[in-house]
Amino acid sequence: MDWDEAAVRAAAARLRLCADPRRRRQGAGALLGRGPGSSLEFHDHRDYLPGDDVRHLDWSVFARSGQLVIRRHRQEVHPRVEVLFDGSASMALTDAKARLAASLAALLLTLAELGGARPRLWLLGGRHRPAPAWRPALRDWKPAGIVDPAAPLDLSGGGERILISDGLWPDGGVAAARRFGNGAGRLCLVQVLTGDETDPRPSGASRLEDGELGHLDQQVDEAACSAYRARLARHQDGWRAALSGRGAGVVSCAVERGFDAATRRLVEAGVVEVRHG
Residue-wise pLDDT for 113-136, tens only, equals 998 888 999 999 878 888 989 999
Distance CA 231, CA 218 (A): 17
Distance CA 163, CA 190 (A): 6
| pLDDT score recorded for residue 77 | 42
How far from each other are the two terminal CA atoms of the chain, in whole angstroms? 34
Question: According to the 3-state scheme, what is the secondary structure of 64-105?
Answer: HHCCCEEEEECEECCCCEEEEEECCHHHHCCHHHHHHHHHHH
Q: How many CA atoms lie within 13 A of 201 on its CB side?
A: 2
Summarize the confidence of residues 22-51 as an average pLDDT.
50
* SS3 at position 33: strand
Residues near 199 by beta carbon (within 8 Å), at least 6 away in sequence: 229
Q: Which helix (H) or strand (E) holds 240?
A: helix 222-243
CATH topology of domain 5-17+78-271: Rossmann fold (3.40.50)
Q: How many CA atoms lie within 13 A of 121 on its CB side?
A: 25
pTM score: 0.75
What sign for the dihedral angle of Cα 189, 195, 201, 206? Answer: negative
Q: Given a cut of 90, is residue 272 above it in pLDDT?
A: yes
Q: Would you list the domain boundaries of the chain?
A: 5-17+78-271, 40-73
Distance CA 264, CA 251 (A): 10
Distance CA 35, CA 246 (A): 6
- Per-chain mean pLDDT for the chain: 80
| pLDDT score recorded for residue 50 | 66
